Amino acid sequence: MKKIKQSWAEPYKIKMVELLKMTTADQRKKAMKDAGYNTFLLRSEDVYIDLLTDSGTSAMSDRQWAGMMLGDEAYAGSSNFYQLEEVVREVYGYKYLVPTHQGRGAENILSKILIKKGDIVPGNMYFTTTRLHQELAGGKFEDVIIDEAHDPENEFPFKGNIDLDKLKRLIKKHGAKKIPYVSMATSVNMAGGQPISMKNLKELRALTKKHGIKVIHDMTRVAENAYFIQQKEKGYEGRSIRSIVKEICSYTDGATMSAKKDALVNIGGFLAVNDWDVFEEARNMVVVYEGLHTYGGLAGRDMEAMAIGIRESVSDEHIKARIGQVIYLGEKMIEYDVPIVRPIGGHGIFVDAKKFLPHIPQDHFPAQTLAAEMYLDSGVRTMERGVVSAGRKTNGENYYPKLELVRFTIPRRVYTQAHMDVIAESAARVYERRNKIKGLKMVYEPKYLRFFQARFEKL
Ligand code: PLI
């Protein structure tokens, strides 16, 4: 008899469905051209399976929807704020909470408070909005992620780790006073959703403590990081996701959060800190940029849904199925020889466009091209994470990242295993005709975060 597999399954059943629209090849050709070969500029009604992002695209639970009805829409002192504050303390352990409309709102406030002109901000790989806020505040981002993270084929299980020798060299060169904090992300997005290990975090805490440097945690996908620690790190096998998440947070001084990912809401974020002085300044500043300190740009109902979503996000069953689905898609892609970033990360499959389209130089945007080709093939919308996303340095020169990737991002609790099959088959079809694919040229480039609105033409 065939060996019996032990499958995972979704820890929920479906109560309501949203119908999808199918398109013809001709319709997609027109839509892609009209969108300037930028998947961000497509209308969502022209998309079949939307893997643009896992941000704000998750399906809320019946409990979260019920929570929306408990919205206390008072301008000041909404009961939903106090509920959220309690949940953030209980689940993450941070003392003080400032809600924001989404992650970048928190990044803006935090960067303005902690960074002075000329400061250095080391981090485990850049994220687009995070680095831009650090630069706008006068800082310079320095990448201190381990070298393995820049190699799509390296199978090291914790490619989100910080290279402590690189960090020590930066401290030696600039002095600790020039480094306000280390920007540490869990589940490093641009590296392919790669986790940081608890061991590395503990060592980071010890080193930064010695020099009086803070650690600020981009905790957007902390629960997904916790899953990899539970599965792969010695000593954490039997530990709950909840307890691992809390331990991660305990080695940091504060956090910015885009609740649109892990926390299963369509909008929302926050800044959470342990230091009263930073909190006081953030509370002053939030009223300028976001809204009063007890709503920060959110409706009461959004804060309620977030509080419930945070509790659901740290359930072992939820995370196992969430990442199980991502791994299922990745393994299908590997079966078809599609080159993807290994190991498979937490929130999506990252296809290596340099390897997929080796005949297209980086100046002709291989990842942008491949994302457009995926849409043309099947109506599956993916996203470029390469030279377009990396943008330009403050001196105007292009960044040329080693990683030139297309992200197939999986929204949480939205698509089924059958959708994953359709996606992998489409990627395989595009791979089969890869030699016929030509690159793109950029014909419009916005000043900030160009990947959102840039336009291209076919070469
Ligand atoms: O999109 P925001 O403003 O809620 O969050 C910004 C943000 C901060 N950190 C990290 C790691 C992110 O992934 C992030 C947003 N990510 C998006 C939109 C994404 O598609 O990955």
- In the reported structure, the alpha carbon of residue 129 is separated from the centroid of ligand 1 by a whole-number distance in angstroms of 7
- In the reported structure, the alpha carbon of residue 436 is separated from the centroid of ligand 1 by a whole-number distance in angstroms of 34
Among candidate residues 232, 211, 122, the one with its CA nearest the CA of residue 170 = 122
- In the reported structure, the alpha carbon of residue 102 is separated from the centroid of ligand 1 by a whole-number distance in angstroms of 8
pTM of this structure: 0.96
Amino acid 1: pLDDT: 87
Residue 185 CA: which ligand 1 atom is closest?
A: 11
Residues annotated as catalytic are 75, 127-128, 218, 261, 385, 451
Burial of 139 (0-12, 13-18, 19+ CB in 10 A): buried
Ligand 1 pocket check for 128: Cβ under 6 Å: no
- In the reported structure, the alpha carbon of residue 216 is separated from the centroid of ligand 1 by a whole-number distance in angstroms of 15
* Rounded Cα distance, 183 and 214, in Å: 9
* Rounded Cα distance, 34 and 119, in Å: 42
Residue closest by Cα to atom 5 of ligand 1: 103
Rounded to the nearest 5 degrees, what angle is found at the Cα of 344, between the Cα atoms of 339 and 348?
90
Pull the structure tokens for residue 389: 């996303």
Ligand 1 pocket check for 124: Cβ under 6 Å: no
Taking only the tens place, the pLDDT of each residue in 328-340 is: 999 999 999 999 9
> What are the CB-based long-range contacts (under 8 Å, 24+) for 128-133?
128/190, 128/389, 128/391, 128/449, 128/451, 129/103, 129/104, 129/449, 130/104, 130/183, 130/185, 130/218, 130/256, 132/448, 132/449, 133/104, 133/107, 133/108
The alpha carbon dihedral of 292, 298, 303, 304 has a sign of: positive
- In the reported structure, the alpha carbon of residue 103 is separated from the centroid of ligand 1 by a whole-number distance in angstroms of 6
Contact 55, 266 (CB under 8 A): no
Residue 260 CA: which ligand 1 atom is closest?
A: 4
Give, as one character, the DSSP assignment of residue 218.
E
Among candidate residues 402, 404, 401, the one with its CA nearest the CA of residue 357 = 404
Ligand 1 pocket check for 185: Cβ under 6 Å: yes
- In the reported structure, the alpha carbon of residue 56 is separated from the centroid of ligand 1 by a whole-number distance in angstroms of 10
Residue ranges of the chain whose pLDDT lies below 70: none
Q: What Rg value do the Cα atoms of the chain yield, rounded?
A: 21
- In the reported structure, the alpha carbon of residue 51 is separated from the centroid of ligand 1 by a whole-number distance in angstroms of 14
Give the mutation target among 52, 109, 258, 302 for probing the ligand 1 site: most ligand atoms within 8 A of CB: 258
Contact 87, 440 (CB under 8 A): no
Give the mutation target among 104, 108, 129, 186 for probing the ligand 1 site: most ligand atoms within 8 A of CB: 129
- Name the residue with tokens 């960090």: 167
Ligand 1 pocket check for 260: Cβ under 6 Å: yes
- CA distances, 441 to each of 68, 169, 320, 368, 445 (Å): 45, 39, 41, 10, 11
- In the reported structure, the alpha carbon of residue 7 is separated from the centroid of ligand 1 by a whole-number distance in angstroms of 31
* Rounded Cα distance, 96 and 209, in Å: 21
Taking only the tens place, the pLDDT of each residue in 213-236 is: 999 999 999 999 999 999 999 999
Residue closest by Cα to atom 12 of ligand 1: 220
Pull the structure tokens for residue 282: 């953030």
Pull the structure tokens for residue 23: 């398109």
* Rounded Cα distance, 233 and 245, in Å: 14
Residue closest by Cα to atom 2 of ligand 1: 103
Give the mutation target among 39, 109, 110, 127 for probing the ligand 1 site: most ligand atoms within 8 A of CB: 127
Ligand 1 pocket check for 258: Cβ under 6 Å: yes
Ligand 1 pocket check for 350: Cβ under 6 Å: no
Give the mutation target among 58, 196, 220, 289 for probing the ligand 1 site: most ligand atoms within 8 A of CB: 220
Give, as one character, the DSSP assignment of residue 220.
T
Taking only the tens place, the pLDDT of each residue in 69-112 is: 999 999 999 999 999 999 999 999 999 999 999 999 999 999 99
Among candidate residues 218, 227, 232, 263, the one with its CA nearest the CA of residue 245 = 227
Task: Write down the mean pLDDT value for the chain.
Answer: 97
Ligand 1 pocket check for 220: Cβ under 6 Å: yes
Pull the structure tokens for residue 19: 């119908």
Cis peptide before 343 (omega within 30 of 0): yes
Ligand 1 pocket check for 111: Cβ under 6 Å: no
Amino acid 27: pLDDT: 98
Bridge partners of residue 184, in order along the sequence = 217
Amino acid 394: pLDDT: 83
* Rounded Cα distance, 115 and 441, in Å: 36
Residue 189 CA: which ligand 1 atom is closest?
A: 11
* Rounded Cα distance, 303 and 290, in Å: 14
Residue closest by Cα to atom 10 of ligand 1: 220
- In the reported structure, the alpha carbon of residue 188 is separated from the centroid of ligand 1 by a whole-number distance in angstroms of 11
* Rounded Cα distance, 15 and 30, in Å: 35
Bridge partners of residue 194, in order along the sequence = 188
What is the SS3 assignment for 87-145? HHHHHCCCCEEEEECCHHHHHHHHHHHHCCCCCEEEECCCCHHHHHHHHHCCCEEEECE
